């Protein structure tokens, strides 16, 4: 119901639902009648519908009459309200279906007819019954009552149908004037139908149904005859009207031409008045210009836009009110007005307000050939003389908004500095100038603040934003007027230093900036010092794109961070080669596992404690190597950091875990004396933080058929201590799984005894840096002795790695170290080499 407003829609649904309920009630009443009554209802309904197809239109008028209501009111008198309501609904549905395609009309008409019929027929039936009980049942009484009910039926039904239309148009529901003008004719027709129905009813009562069977067809024939007779009468009237004489038609045509000429004159005068009114009262500025650009007439809106009176504008060149830089092009376009090359044009330009401010106007200029209304005699735009019409609209607000958006698009909203996009544009311009003239060198500095995240985490992001604002101001104060500083994002800034005489100038600027940043910043009640790492690159390297410049400056900045932070570093080609090589290795590492380039080697671990048979093989440590097709065998230090940074560590760890578990189980099954061999595997920080670590390890153990106590997972001291609170649940779950845990590189981190006592670990591995310097009486010997004693106190096994001489092994045995591994005892071996080595070492297997 897209064209129904809320009120009309509610009324429609209310009337429709009420009509459907009433119709169902009537059908229920009919269901209790005999089949003969149903046959009578069906016959009368068919006759009512058929009569509606032959309306009788009175010639010369718009009034038509359909006699279907005769049979509906006859049903009312014979069978009662229910039968009449059903017949009225059916007749209304068929009539609306022929007259309208809208489903709303087709449904509303029968509902309205049902409601109207029940509203009048139920009181009529009750009234006639009451009158009959008192002896007033004569034909005259019934006739009068039935005619009144028919008129009331029409009034209610017409009110419902017209009311919904008026509500759709937003008008009042009940409009008596229009309704009663129709009621005069159609209401009388309904009353006439009721009278005929009453006569047929009394004929039926006195003479029987046979008379009806004769009278009804005769009545139908009479109605059809009248229908066609009146149609022929209308056709005759039309022919007589068409037969007017030619003289009459010519006279009428002449009169119409005279009326058209008078009407055209009135319209022309009205058009002139409308133009004058529109020109004078228009909200946009308008002016009539001569072909020489002088203002012939201006409206008040244009005078207000320029801050002048209409008299001040009159006879002045319009270009006199335009900013000087905009005048040449406008004068050129206006200069074509007297020739054939002139075309209407639109453009935006700046005009000068009387107070000296700039006003942006959107102009539209075109020919104007209509007479000038109320033109002064002195003007040259006389009646009918061509001129130009200029329309001007103030677009200053939009221009200011566009300028604001332009600033937002190219500037950082927090610091007000140029953003990355603007900086790249400036850098491209510098590149272009340098390529055209190498005597204009430049440098780019990439600045990243050290430990800025700590400020956000400890003091909040508002403090971090305030720090960035203060940093931006302090950096700007140290730059020359031609230098450009931009915020690239986060705590990253870039500086374009232009027209430098020597590279040393950029270095001196970097030193000044670092000194300035070293001065304390005040953030509320807190003072802090912000250090920065700066990477510098120069135009002399020969860049082609701005992206290459920022890339290399960023690379130099990371070199400064790696060197200890709070310093600067200069870019050179070796840095680029290192970064390129790192990127190459990262790309190749992604396919190394699939191509079988990663291999696992195994270093044997032996018992050292004299109480246990010295030299007994106890297990292996799994170590990964990369057999690179070009670079040869790469150690873990060459590619594991790349794997951690690029998100490849989890896949690599799973590869080593599954290979080592399967290999250990094969060795255990190859000889009963190897059944208790163990395998140690290193885990990374990424593995420890992975939520499915326990499930991954459990799956590898089950797939290999290995007992959990034969697997030892090694984690470095720094990894454990940096996440001590977060890793305890994971370590507990691993211990519950049954695997053993070891602290690798022990002694190089910063663990305390309180932390160490909380960890559910089984062994400590002494870092090779202590073992390599192991000499009697040395500090390293004291550290190793302390670690061994600590392990004994905490009931942890102690393993020394990196044993490369017999003296080191002997001293570790004297200190009480339980286990050891290193090149002196056995080098890391491939799986096939281990099998051969085990066959040769039968004596070491007890």
Say if residue 288 is in the same domain as residue 220: no
Say if residue 564 is in the same domain as residue 684: no
Helix, coil or strand: residue 288: strand
pLDDT of amino acid 229: 54
Residue 510 in tokens: 């970097």
Q: State the burial class of residue 343 (Cβ atoms within 10 Å of its Cβ: 0-12, 13-18, 19+).
A: exposed
355 pLDDT above the threshold of 60: yes
Find how far residue 548's CA is from the centre of its chain.
Answer: 34
Residue 162 and residue 154 in contact, taking contact as beta carbons nearer than 8 Å: no
pLDDT of amino acid 603: 93
pLDDT of amino acid 326: 84
- Using pLDDT thresholds of 50, 70 and 90, give the confidence band for residue 457: confident
Helix (H) / strand (E) containing 349: strand 345-352
Cα separation, 664 vs 676, whole angstroms? 10
pLDDT of amino acid 745: 80
Number of domains present in the structure of the chain: 4
pLDDT of amino acid 688: 83
When comparing pLDDT for 644 and 55, which is higher? 644
Q: Rg for the chain (alpha carbons), in Å? A: 52
Say if residue 791 is in the same domain as residue 682: yes
Cα separation, 746 vs 799, whole angstroms? 10
Among 401, 431, 448, identify where a domain stops.
401
- Using pLDDT thresholds of 50, 70 and 90, give the confidence band for residue 370: low
Least confident of 12-26, 62-76, 577-591: 62-76
pLDDT of amino acid 183: 46
Residue 741 and residue 758 in contact, taking contact as beta carbons nearer than 8 Å: no
Residue 151 in tokens: 């008129």
Closest to 800 in 3D by CA, of 775, 768, 823, 826: 768
Among 184, 212, 237, identify where a domain stops.
237
Cα separation, 623 vs 148, whole angstroms? 110
Q: State the burial class of residue 298 (Cβ atoms within 10 Å of its Cβ: 0-12, 13-18, 19+).
A: buried
Closest to 114 in 3D by CA, of 241, 247, 20: 20
348 pLDDT above the threshold of 80: yes
Q: What is the CATH number of the domain that holds 372?
A: 3.30.450.20
Share of the chain above pLDDT 90, in %: 16
- Using pLDDT thresholds of 50, 70 and 90, give the confidence band for residue 378: very low
Cα separation, 117 vs 331, whole angstroms? 81
- Using pLDDT thresholds of 50, 70 and 90, give the confidence band for residue 4: confident
489 in a structural domain? yes
Say if residue 75 is in the same domain as residue 218: yes
Mean pLDDT computed over 203-216 = 60
Helix (H) / strand (E) containing 765: strand 763-766
Mean pLDDT computed over 276-295 = 82
Tens of pLDDT, residues 159-180:
777 777 777 766 766 666 555 5
Q: Which of 419-433, 631-645, 774-788 has the highest mean pLDDT?
A: 419-433
pTM: 0.44
406 in a structural domain? no
What angle in degrees, to the nearest 10, is found between the helix axes of 831-840 and 649-670? 30
- Using pLDDT thresholds of 50, 70 and 90, give the confidence band for residue 379: very low
pLDDT of amino acid 243: 53
What angle in degrees, to the nearest 10, is found between the helix axes of 546-562 and 420-436? 110
When comparing pLDDT for 196 and 174, which is higher? 196
Closest to 537 in 3D by CA, of 450, 427, 421: 427
Cα separation, 105 vs 107, whole angstroms? 5
Say if residue 330 is in the same domain as residue 188: no
Find how far residue 412's CA is from the centre of its chain.
Answer: 24
CB contact set of 611 (below 8 Å; sequence gap of 6+):
none
Mean pLDDT computed over 267-281 = 70
When comparing pLDDT for 112 and 223, which is higher? 112
- Using pLDDT thresholds of 50, 70 and 90, give the confidence band for residue 385: low
Helix, coil or strand: residue 821: strand
Q: Would you tell me how many other CB atoms lie within 10 Å of the CB of residue 108?
A: 23
Share of the chain above pLDDT 70, in %: 80
126 pLDDT above the threshold of 90: no
pLDDT of amino acid 241: 54
Residue 714 in tokens: 């090694």
Residue 812 and residue 803 in contact, taking contact as beta carbons nearer than 8 Å: yes
Cα separation, 171 vs 148, whole angstroms? 29
Residue 349 and residue 323 in contact, taking contact as beta carbons nearer than 8 Å: yes
Tens of pLDDT, residues 689-711:
888 989 999 999 999 999 999 99
Beta strand spans in 490-529 (E): 492-498, 521-523, 526-528
Residue 95 and residue 55 in contact, taking contact as beta carbons nearer than 8 Å: no
pLDDT of amino acid 374: 44
Cα separation, 451 vs 489, whole angstroms? 15
Say if residue 540 is in the same domain as residue 565: yes
Mean pLDDT of the chain: 80
pLDDT of amino acid 60: 47
255 in a structural domain? no
pLDDT of amino acid 242: 54
Say if residue 395 is in the same domain as residue 421: no
Helix, coil or strand: residue 558: helix
Say if residue 377 is in the same domain as residue 420: no
pLDDT of amino acid 381: 42
pLDDT of amino acid 481: 85
Residue 622 and residue 679 in contact, taking contact as beta carbons nearer than 8 Å: yes
CB contact set of 198 (below 8 Å; sequence gap of 6+):
73, 77, 139, 142, 143, 146, 147
Closest to 645 in 3D by CA, of 590, 720, 592, 572: 590
Say if residue 341 is in the same domain as residue 206: no
Residue 312 in tokens: 């001040």
pLDDT of amino acid 681: 94
- Alpha-carbon torsion angle 414, 418, 422, 423, nearest 10: -120
Residue 275 and residue 373 in contact, taking contact as beta carbons nearer than 8 Å: yes
251 in a structural domain? no
Helix, coil or strand: residue 712: strand
262 in a structural domain? no
Cα separation, 533 vs 568, whole angstroms? 6
Tens of pLDDT, residues 489-527:
888 999 999 888 888 888 889 999 988 888 888 887 788
Residue 512 and residue 478 in contact, taking contact as beta carbons nearer than 8 Å: yes
265 in a structural domain? no
How many CA atoms are closer than 13 Å to the CA of 152, on its beta-carbon side? 16
Provide the domain limits for residue 397.
Answer: 282-401
Q: What is the CATH number of the domain that holds 771?
A: 3.20.20.450
Tens of pLDDT, residues 560-601:
887 778 888 888 766 656 666 666 777 788 888 778 888 999
714 pLDDT above the threshold of 70: yes
Among 526, 555, 571, identify where a domain stops.
571
Mean pLDDT computed over 454-467 = 82
Q: Would you tell me how many other CB atoms lie within 10 Å of the CB of residue 184?
A: 9
Say if residue 89 is in the same domain as residue 183: yes
Strands 763-766 and 797-801: parallel
Task: Mark out the alpha helices in 338-448 (DSSP H runs).
Answer: 396-410, 420-436
Task: Please give the C-alpha separations between residue 591 and each of 586, 600, 651, 652, in angstroms, as whole numbers.
Answer: 9, 16, 11, 11
Say if residue 353 is in the same domain as residue 447: no
Say if residue 432 is in the same domain as residue 381: no
Closest to 361 in 3D by CA, of 401, 333, 392: 392
Tens of pLDDT, residues 78-95:
788 888 888 888 877 877
692 in a structural domain? yes
598 in a structural domain? no
């Amino acid at each position: 119901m897209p064209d129904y407003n809320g009120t009309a829609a509610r009324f429609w649904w209310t009337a429709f639902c009420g009509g459907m309920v009433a119709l169902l009630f009537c059908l229920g009443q009919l269901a209790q009648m005999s089949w003969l009554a149903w046959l009578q209802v069906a016959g009368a309904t068919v006759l009512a519908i058929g009569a509606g197809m032959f309306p009788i239109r009175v010639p010369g008028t718009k009034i038509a009459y359909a006699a279907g209501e005769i049979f509906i009111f006859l049903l009312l008198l014979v069978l009662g309200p229910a039968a009449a309501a059903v017949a009225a609904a059916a007749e209304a549905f068929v009539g609306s279906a022929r007259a309208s395609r809208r489903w709303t009309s087709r449904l509303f008409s029968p509902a309205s007819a049902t409601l109207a019929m029940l509203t009048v027929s139920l009181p009529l039936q009750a009234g006639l019954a009451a009158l009959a009980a008192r002896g007033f049942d004569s034909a005259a009484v019934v006739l009068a009552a039935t005619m009144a009910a028919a008129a009331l039926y029409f009034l209610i039904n017409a009110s419902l149908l017209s009311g919904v239309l008026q509500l759709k148009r937003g008008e009042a529901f009940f409009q008596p004037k229009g309704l009663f003008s129709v009621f005069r004719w159609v209401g009388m027709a309904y009353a006439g139908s009721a009278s005929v129905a009453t006569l047929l009813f009394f004929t039926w009562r006195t003479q029987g149904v046979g008379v009806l069977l004769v009278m009804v067809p005769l009545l139908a024939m009479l109605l059809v005859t009248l229908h066609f007779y009146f149609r022929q009468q209308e056709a005759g009237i039309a022919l007589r009207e068409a037969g007017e004489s030619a003289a009459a038609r010519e006279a009428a045509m002449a009169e119409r031409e005279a009326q058209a000429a008078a009407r055209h004159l009135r319209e022309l005068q009205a058009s002139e008045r409308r133009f004058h009114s529109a020109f004078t009262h228009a909200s946009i500025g308008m002016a009539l210009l001569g072909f020489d650009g002088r203002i012939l007439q201006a409206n008040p809106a244009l005078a207000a836009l320029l801050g002048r009176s209409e008299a001040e504008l009159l006879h002045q060149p319009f270009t006199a009110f335009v900013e000087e830089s905009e005048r040449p092009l406008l004068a050129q376009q206006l200069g074509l007005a007297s020739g054939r090359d002139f075309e209407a044009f639109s453009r935006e330009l700046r005009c000068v307000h009387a107070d000296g401010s700039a006003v942006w106007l959107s102009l539209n200029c075109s020919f104007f050939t209509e007479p000038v209304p109320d033109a002064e005699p002195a003007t040259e735009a006389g009646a009918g003389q061509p001129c130009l019409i200029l329309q001007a609209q103030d677009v200053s607000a939009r221009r200011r908004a566009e300028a604001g958006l332009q600033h937002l698009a190219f500037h950082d909203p927090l610091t007000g500095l140029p953003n990355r996009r603007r900086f790249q544009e400036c850098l491209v311009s510098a590149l272009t100038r340098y390529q055209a003239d190498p005597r204009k060198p430049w440098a780019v500095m990439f600045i990243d603040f050290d430990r800025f995240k700590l400020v956000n985490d400890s003091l909040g992001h508002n403090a971090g934003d305030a720090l960035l604002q203060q940093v931006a101001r302090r950096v700007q104060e140290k730059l020359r007027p031609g230098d450009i500083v931009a915020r690239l994002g986060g705590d990253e800034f870039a500086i374009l230093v232009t027209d430098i005489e020597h590279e040393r100038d950029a270095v001196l600027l970097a030193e000044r900036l670092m000194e300035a940043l070293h001065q304390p910043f005040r953030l509320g009640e807190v003072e802090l010092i912000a250090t920065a790492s700066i990477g510098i690159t120069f135009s002399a390297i020969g860049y082609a794109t701005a992206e290459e410049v920022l890339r290399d400056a960023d690379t130099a900045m990371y070199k400064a961070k790696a060197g200890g932070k709070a310093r600067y570093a200069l870019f050179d080609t070796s840095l680029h080669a290192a970064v390129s090589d790192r990127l190459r290795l990262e790309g190749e590492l992604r396919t190394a596992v699939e191509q079988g380039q990663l291999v696992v080697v195994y270093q044997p671990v032996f018992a050292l404690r004299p109480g246990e048979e010295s030299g007994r093989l106890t297990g292996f440590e799994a170590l990964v190597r990369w057999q690179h097709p070009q670079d040869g065998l790469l150690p873990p230090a060459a590619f594991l950091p790349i794997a951690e940074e690029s998100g490849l560590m989890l896949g690599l760890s799973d590869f080593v875990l599954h290979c080592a578990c399967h290999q250990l189980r094969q060795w255990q099954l190859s000889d009963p004396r190897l059944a208790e061999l163990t395998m140690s595997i290193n885990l990374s920080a990424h593995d420890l933080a992975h939520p499915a670590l326990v499930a991954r390890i459990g799956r590898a153990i089950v797939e290999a058929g290995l007992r959990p106590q034969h697997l030892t997972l090694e984690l470095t001291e720094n990894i454990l201590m940096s996440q001590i609170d977060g890793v305890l649940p994971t370590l507990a779950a691993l211990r519950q799984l049954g695997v053993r845990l070891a602290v690798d590189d022990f002694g190089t981190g910063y663990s305390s005894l309180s932390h160490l006592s909380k960890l559910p670990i089984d062994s400590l591995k002494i870092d090779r840096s202590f073992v390599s310097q192991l000499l009697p009486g040395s500090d390293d010997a004291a550290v190793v002795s302390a670690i061994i004693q600590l392990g004994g106190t905490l009931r942890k096994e102690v393993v020394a790695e990196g044993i490369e001489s017999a003296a080191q092994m002997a001293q570790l045995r004297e200190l009480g170290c339980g286990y050891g591994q290193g090149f002196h005892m056995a080098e890391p071996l491939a799986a096939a080499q281990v099998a051969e080595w085990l066959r040769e070492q039968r004596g070491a297997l007890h």
